[in-house]
């Protein structure tokens, strides 16, 4: 593969990132702007947020807890998770915040997490698939999957499917259960290689990351199709938090780190700002019964054209079922 071919995924990723950052800057410079939305209390509702111990996930958990929800942080760092629980309880005066270990890079860990959650015998009204890695060097998960694809996408695919029955049982006609999956604008430059989902032929951290984010959009649309087909009271939507100043950028090159350090205050959203669309998707009455949409800045937005390819959605779902060794309920839809 030529040097130019190797550089293209990185170039596409940085271009889309720059475009989003500029859009955020222009939005900030506008006078006034809409007031922060006020959401109804969520007493009695239960949510799971992956990666909820820091960054966007932390602020998502904190806001849901402030609304009265029972929130479970799913994460792979016990001490970090328990510290997040302590701080959120203190700030929100909500004792129903807890941490359960879940390593999304391990199918065994995901299954153990689901078993622990089921043992609580509580409903599940909101699942926020938030955790992720970005631009990591080439490496594999415990199960042998490329890490971006395995953790960002397959881990959430398995987790959602294992919790889907509980979500269906918890949703009602007047209040649907909700699955919110965090993707990003990088999905617009993603390419889904069904014959090489593990990026074995030629690894690019930029290409692998963008592919995982595109896969999450395709997964969300397929999930919505399936829950609608069987009449379940569950909605699935995908959110784009924008360019946010979080630890996800720790794997970028030193030059990018310097530029980020110099400009983040101006171009980047804070993690709290980045969480706003996830929170909106989780609790806004405006989205009651609404599924299969892509949200950016709390607004319905068109995702990349290829994400609406129903055959591609179906093929990715089928392949994902094989990889995670679960039953392909979607095959009955053919």
Phi-psi region of 299 (alpha: psi -120 to 50; beta: other; left: phi over 0): beta
CA dihedral 278, 283, 286, 291 (to 10 degrees): 60
Q: What is the pLDDT of residue 237?
A: 98
Question: Would you give the DSSP letter of residue 144?
Answer: S
Residue 312 lies in a domain: yes
Determine the 3-state secondary structure of 326 from DSSP: coil
Phi, psi of 41 (to 5 degrees): -65, 155
Average pLDDT over residues 121-150: 96
What is the C-alpha to C-alpha distance for residues 145 and 238, in angstroms, rounded to an integer?
Answer: 23
**Residue 2 clears pLDDT 50, i.e. is over it:** no
CA distances from 128 to 39, 46, 56, 164 (A): 17, 11, 11, 13
Average predicted confidence (pLDDT) for the chain: 88
Q: Could you tell me if 192 and 218 are in contact, meaning their C-beta atoms sit under 8 angstroms apart? A: yes
pLDDT of 62-90, one tens digit each? 999 999 999 999 999 999 999 999 999 99
What is the C-alpha to C-alpha distance for residues 219 and 215, in angstroms, rounded to an integer?
Answer: 6
Question: Would you give the DSSP letter of residue 244?
Answer: B
CA angle 295, 297, 300 (to 5 degrees): 35
Residue 265 lies in a domain: no
Residue 26 lies in a domain: no
Q: Which of 34-38, 166-170, 173-177, 330-334 has the lowest mean pLDDT?
A: 330-334
Tell me how many domains the chain contains.
1
Q: What is the pLDDT of residue 37?
A: 83
Pairing of strands 299-301, 294-296: antiparallel
Q: Which of 21-35, 136-150, 233-247, 301-315 has the lowest mean pLDDT?
A: 21-35
Count the residues in the chain.
334
Residue 147 lies in a domain: yes
Of 319, 166, 127, 318, which Cα lies nearest the Cα of 329? Answer: 318
Range of the domain at 288: 40-243+275-324
Look-up: residue for tokens 């990349």?
304
Average pLDDT over residues 22-27: 58
pTM of the model: 0.88
Annotation says 249 is catalytic: no
Q: Could you tell me if 75 and 99 are in contact, meaning their C-beta atoms sit under 8 angstroms apart? A: yes
Residue 225 lies in a domain: yes
pLDDT of 157-167, one tens digit each? 999 999 999 99
pLDDT of 260-298, one tens digit each? 445 544 456 788 999 999 999 999 999 999 999 999 999
- Domain of residue 131, CATH code: 3.40.50.720
What is the C-alpha to C-alpha distance for residues 13 and 15, in angstroms, rounded to an integer?
Answer: 5
Residue 35 lies in a domain: no
CB-facing half-sphere around the CA of 209: CA atoms within 13 A: 22
Residue 279 lies in a domain: yes
Residue 152 lies in a domain: yes
Catalytic residue among 58, 153, 188, 209: 209
């Amino acid at each position: 593969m030529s040097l130019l071919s190797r550089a293209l995924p990185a170039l596409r990723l940085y271009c889309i990132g720059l475009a989003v950052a500029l859009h955020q800057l222009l939005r900030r410079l506008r006078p006034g702007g809409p007031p922060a939305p006020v959401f109804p209390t969520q007493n009695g509702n239960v949510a799971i947020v992956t990666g909820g111990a820091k960054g966007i996930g932390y602020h998502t958990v904190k806001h849901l807890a402030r609304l009265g929800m029972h929130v479970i942080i799913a994460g792979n760092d016990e001490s970090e998770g328990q510290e997040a629980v302590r701080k959120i309880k203190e700030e929100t005066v909500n004792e129903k915040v807890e941490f359960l270990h879940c390593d999304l890079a391990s199918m065994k860990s995901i299954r153990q997490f689901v078993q622990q959650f089921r043992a609580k015998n509580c409903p599940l009204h909101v699942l926020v698939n938030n955790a992720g890695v970005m631009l990591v060097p080439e490496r594999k998960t415990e199960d042998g999957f490329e890490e971006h694809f395995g953790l960002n996408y397959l881990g959430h695919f398995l987790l959602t499917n294992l919790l889907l029955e509980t979500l269906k049982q918890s949703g009602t006609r007047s209040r649907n259960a909700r699955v919110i999956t965090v993707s990003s604008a990088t999905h617009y430059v993603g390419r889904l290689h069904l014959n090489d989902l593990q990026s074995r032929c030629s690894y690019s951290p930029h290409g692998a990351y963008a592919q995982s984010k595109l896969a999450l959009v395709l997964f969300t649309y397929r999930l919505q199709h399936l829950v609608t087909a069987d009449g379940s009271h569950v909605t699935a939507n995908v959110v784009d938090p924008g360019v946010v100043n979080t630890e996800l950028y720790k794997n970028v090159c030193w030059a990018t780190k310097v530029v980020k350090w110099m400009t983040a205050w101006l171009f980047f959203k804070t993690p709290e700002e980045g969480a706003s669309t996830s929170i909106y998707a989780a609790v806004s009455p405006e989205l009651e019964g609404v599924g299969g949409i892509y949200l950016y800045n709390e607004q319905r937005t068109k995702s990349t054209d290829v994400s609406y390819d129903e055959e591609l959605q179906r093929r990715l779902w089928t392949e994902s079922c094989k990889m995670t060794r679960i039953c392909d309920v979607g095959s009955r839809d053919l």
